[in-house]
Structure 1
Amino acid sequence: MDIQVVEKNEMRVVGISWNGSYSQTSTIPKLFTEFEQRLEEISFKTEEPVLIAPFHSRETEFTYYVTAPVEKITDIPEGMVGFTIPSKNYVVTTHKGKPEEVENTYNLLFTWMKEYGYEQDHQALSLEIYKEEHKALNASGDLHFEIYLPVMVYK
């Protein structure tokens, strides 16, 4: 598994949100379907063919967003949210495989971070980035997406 540390520039996104317990995560794939049905409602989308899924994880629950990158945040459609993700350093890898293997990919990232002395920034959003080129694979259950975990940088 290829793991690296990168800096991502600030991004503006508009999309839908979901909040729930870890036992309710099976509802997340439906968010993508719902969001894609409403994608045309979003103004000023960038040309980048991706969906960005930022999320906050907490001890007992998390908040998950399915969003599209936008050039500016205006005219947010009803029931959606718009926000800016600040420039940040991330540990990144690509998950390739079945949905039930996603947790293993995250655990490998956490192990790598510990081994190389990186500490996750729990105040920042983690990201999953889904590229248009993998849409058919993802729909068939063979997931391909990038995982970005925010890390603390000590100068």
Structure 2
Amino acid sequence: MFECELISKNDIILAGFSFSGPFPQSFPSEAVKVQQRLGSRKSEFPPSVNTGMLFSPYSVCDSIATYWACYEVQEGDLIPEGMVTFTLPGHSYAKVNCTNKKIGDGYREVFNWMKKNSYIQLKDAWSIELFYIEDTEEELVEILIPVK
């Protein structure tokens, strides 16, 4: 059901909001809130920005996590007031497709696949949840785990 693969992504320029807080206690509730906050302001982005793809890079360190909700932008795009713009460096990633309803299963599958194929997660790089926003109850999600 879940197919995992190794992919490479180049640098991505992102703009949006973040939340940092205790992990796992604050999640997924705070992740959903930061995504909704971004979604409520998507009309403020220029038409050239694809607001149908929501990038959520995240990092967990001990018991604290930082989670972003962003859209990919191009250099020179006008960014709505109060949002942060940053470049996420490119990496090789272990990737699995799942849905927002099966995200836990997706994580189990990708980590099992990484172990079976001797990939090691890069601890100093951001993992990404990439949501394909379709305004339906169940939406496609790509989970990207940076690996070496």
Q: TM-score, normalised by structure 2?
A: 0.86
Letter of the aligned partner of 2:25 in structure 1?
S
Residue matched to 1:6: 7
Residue matched to 1:109: 110
Change (3 A) 1:76 1:109: same
Paired residue secondary structure (1:54): strand
* Higher-helix-fraction structure: 1
How far apart, CA to CA, are the structure 2 residues paired with 1:70 and 1:58? 27
Residue matched to 1:50: 53
- Are 1:85 and 2:93 counterparts? no
Paired residue secondary structure (2:125): coil
Change (3 A) 1:60 1:73: farther
Paired residue secondary structure (1:104): helix
Q: TM-score, normalised by structure 1?
A: 0.82
Paired residue secondary structure (1:24): coil
- Equivalences, count: 145
Determine what percentage of the aligned residue pairs are the same residue.
27
Residue matched to 2:32: 29
How far is the alpha carbon of 1:44 from its aligned partner?
7.9
Instruction: Please give the per-residue CA displacement for 1:55-105, whole angstroms capped at 9, x wherever unaligned.
Output: 11222121000000001166544432111011210000012362xx42332
How far is the alpha carbon of 1:149 from its aligned partner?
0.3
Change (3 A) 1:144 1:44: closer
Q: Aligned-pair RMSD on alpha carbons?
A: 2.1
How far apart, CA to CA, are the structure 2 residues paired with 1:122 and 1:85? 15
